Every structure is written in C-alpha cells, then in structure tokens.
A and B are shown apart, each in its own frame.
Chain A
Amino acid sequence: KAGVTQTPRYLIKTRGQQVTLSCSPISGHRSVSWYQQTPGQGLQFLFEYFSETQRNKGNFPGRFSGRQFSNSRSEMNVSTLELGDSALYLCASSLSTNANTGELFFGEGSRLTVL
C-alpha cells in the first residue's frame, strides 16, 4: 500500500515568487492536513481538508492557502514568498477525523528554500 506522496521534495524560490506543493494521501484516506516545520517555531499546523472542504485552519497569513480535489489529493500554495517561509512542509493523511480513533501518517515532506 503506497504511503503519502509529496512533490516536489526540494525546491528553491526567490522572494516574491509563489509556490505550489502537492500531496497525495494514502488510498482511501479523505483527510489531508498540512504542517510547517522550522527550527525556530517547530511544527505548526497550517490547515486540514476533508472531502474537499477546509475543516480547520492554523494561525498563518492569507498568503498560505490550500485546496483538496475530489480524489483527495491536496495542494497548498504560498504566494509572495518571504525568507521566513523557508521550511519543511509536511502533509499528513488520515482515514478518520475523529479525535479518538485512527492514526495519522505523514509524507516525506517538501523542503522549500527561499532566497
């Protein structure tokens, strides 16, 4: 059974550009959530999608957006990139959205460097 797939794995952008990251969840999983990991702030929740609807959103500016398609694949977009957006972006998928059931599996991440 294939795991969570994130593309691209590595990318370099310059300030002011935009970037789109993709996440394909485990087959059958309908929940996809995104996290940002930086040395200074640690792991922070960005947003979660379930059945194409955003269920929850973290405390990030509007430059960070996402969407989910009918096949559960998700994309996140960061516009007008800033140096501070350099981070590892992790996607996680889950079968359930129930807090008391179900594991959450992560992909290998997309490492974004903003110059």
Chain B
Amino acid sequence: AQKITQTQPGMFVQEKEAVTLDCTYDTSDPSYGLFWYKQPSSGEMIFLIYQGSYDQQNATEGRYSLNFQKARKSANLVISASQLGDSAMYFCAMRDGGRGGNKLTFGTGTQLKVEL
C-alpha cells in the first residue's frame, strides 16, 4: 500500500529565511508522481510543484524546489526566501502507477508559520 509520511506537524520560520518541509513515501511501483500542495485557511488546495519518479532533475518552480532522493524515498519541499503569505498547511501527496489513475495518497500535512 502507498503511504506518505510528514513528520513535522508544525514549523516556524522567519521571513526571508529558507525552510524545508519533510516528506517520505512508500510504494512498490516504479512509476509514480509526487506533489506538494499549499492549503491556506480558505481551504483551497494550491498546486506548488510536481516530480515524476523518472525525472532526472529535481523539480523547481520559482521559490519552491523539491529535493527528490529516490533511494531514500524522500521528497522534501524547500521554500526559499519565506514570505508572510507562505503561512499555510502544506501537504505532500503521491500518485502511483498501475491502476491508480489520479488517486492521490496524502500525508497529514505540516502547518507552516512565517514570522517577522
């Protein structure tokens, strides 16, 4: 069975600092995709970044980068130059191959608070 583990229930970071949110995953399928989403208090799930299991390079999207370590089964999100607007819940998710289609398995999330 697929599993996503986010071990940090809450994180604090100072504005303009970088922060790393941890995510480990477990799957036996060689083909899978990894996602990070941001969910502010409004509830909307905002797509941040995506990494396919066969992608050779780590994904980057603006201030977001995904530190993909396949052998360790980790997919940590790095946010550079944190902003107050980055305060939100962050979810790591996995879509696996086979018959999984677009079924995502989510972690429990990390609540990030950016402080002045």
Contact = CB atoms under 8 A, between A and B. Distances in A.
Partners in one complex: yes
Interface of A: 31, 33, 35, 42-43, 45, 48, 50, 55-56, 58, 88, 90, 92, 94, 97, 99-109, 111
B29 interface: yes
A100 B32 contact: yes
Interface range, B side: 20 to 34
B102 A106 contact: no
A99 B47 contact: no
Contact of B43 (A48, A55, A99, A111): A111
The residue in B33, B50, B97, B98 that gathers the most chain A C-beta atoms within 10 A of its C-beta is B33
B96 to A, nearest CB: 6
B30 to A, nearest CB: 9
Contact of A109 (B45, B91, B97): B45
Interface string B79-108: 000000000000101011111111111101
